[in-house]
Amino acid sequence: MKLIALKPIYFGGTVVTEGLPLETLEQHGRELIKKGYAMLDESENPAEKEQQQEQPEVKADKKAKK
């Protein structure tokens, strides 16, 4: 989960200051958001990526030879 720090956070052995991005597990990220330490990084919108990946593939019609 990609987040942006809203307050200084000690994470991964270093202090992540305000405004810097960090990446963590889903549960830890939700806890940081709930406590007000971070917000979701929306610069890379996962919904857009899913839509791009779900585009139907073009398949060639194969006819059986008799």
Contact 41, 2 (CB under 8 A): yes
Average pLDDT of the chain, as a whole number: 82
Grouping H, G, I as helix, E, B as strand and the rest as coil, residue 16 is strand
- The DSSP bridge pattern shows strands 38-40 and 2-5 to be antiparallel
What burial class does residue 15 get, using C-beta atoms within 10 Å of its C-beta: 0-12 exposed, 13-18 middle, 19+ buried?
A: exposed
The whole-number pLDDT of residue 65 equals: 66
- Alpha-carbon Rg for the chain in angstroms: 20
The per-residue pLDDT for 45 is: 60
Please give the pLDDT value at position 59: 59
Which sequence spans correspond to the domains of the chain? Answer: 2-45
Residues 35-49: pLDDT tens digits? 999 999 988 665 555
For tokens 């942006």, name the residue. 4
pLDDT tens column, 4-56? 999 999 988 999 999 999 999 999 999 999 999 999 998 866 555 555 556 55
